Each structure stands twice: as C-alpha cells, then as structure tokens.
C-alpha cells in the first residue's frame, strides 16, 4: 500500500508492505494522526519511507487544544476580549473613479473545451 504523507519539510511516499498492512490494518485505516517508524530512501527529490511499524496518535491530536504547555499568544486576534482601536497599519480604502473604464474592458472571456 502507498500513502502520501506530508510534514513541514515536504511530501513523502509511505510504503507499507502487505504483511505489515494486515498486522496493523486497524491503525492504518482508523488513525487521525499516524506515527510511522521506518527507513527513509531518497532518489533525487523523491522521498520514500518504508514503514516497519505504525502507531495511532489520534489521542494526542485530540488533546492538543487542552494542553497547558501551549499558551495561546494574545495579539491582534484578541480584540474580542479586550477591544482595540482601529489598526493604524491598515491602509484606508478609497474608491477610484476611472471614467473610460467599463466592466466589458476587464471581463475575461471563458474558454469552452468541448
């Protein structure tokens, strides 16, 4: 079985041999967060991970929002709690009138690929 996985470094192909898949089928099909032990093989930019064991880490994913050691930063998104003045860095929106510009001049024609 092949599964495409991704992390902050990029995309890799996860290779699961049929015998391992049958042993850990429930984990492969049911996990929201799959942790994989295996061997990394690189061929140019293509990365394959040949799995030797898989772990279901769904409980860690589900508890992510309740952990105390991930304090939420309070910044521009906390106006609901504290209120704030308008942000001075936000540019003011202006209406610009161009007399000879019509909507037909900027409308893009669609292509029919039949």
Six-digit token pair at 40? 């990394």
The reported pLDDT for the residue numbered 86 is 61
* 31 band by pLDDT with thresholds 50, 70 and 90: confident
The residues spanned by each domain of the chain are: 2-64
Cβ neighbours of residue 76 under 8 Å, at least 6 residues apart?
Answer: 87
Q: Which residue has the higher pLDDT, 89 or 62?
A: 62
Six-digit token pair at 65? 């929002």
Six-digit token pair at 83? 């209120």
Q: What is the mean pLDDT of residues 11-39?
A: 91
Helix boundaries (H) for 1-114: 18-23, 25-30, 58-62, 79-82, 103-106
Cβ neighbours of residue 50 under 8 Å, at least 6 residues apart?
Answer: 15, 17, 38, 39, 41
pLDDT digits (tens, 9 = 90+) for 63-83: 876 666 655 555 555 555 556
Q: Which residue has the higher pLDDT, 114 or 15?
A: 15
Looking at the chain, the whole-number percentage of residues with pLDDT higher than 90 is 27
The model's pTM is: 0.52
The reported pLDDT for the residue numbered 69 is 62
């Amino acid at each position: 079985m092949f599964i495409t996985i991704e992390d902050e470094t990029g995309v890799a192909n996860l290779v699961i041999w049929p015998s391992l898949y049958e042993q850990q089928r429930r984990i492969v099909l049911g996990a929201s967060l799959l942790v994989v032990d295996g061997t990394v093989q690189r061929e140019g930019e293509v990365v394959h991970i040949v799995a030797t064991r898989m772990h279901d880490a769904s409980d860690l994913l589900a508890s992510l929002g309740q952990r105390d050691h991930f304090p939420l930063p309070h910044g521009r998104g906390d106006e609901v709690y504290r209120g704030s003045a308008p942000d001075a860095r936000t540019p003011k929106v202006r209406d610009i009138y161009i007399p000879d510009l019509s909507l037909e001049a900027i409308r893009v024609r669609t292509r029919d690929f039949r």
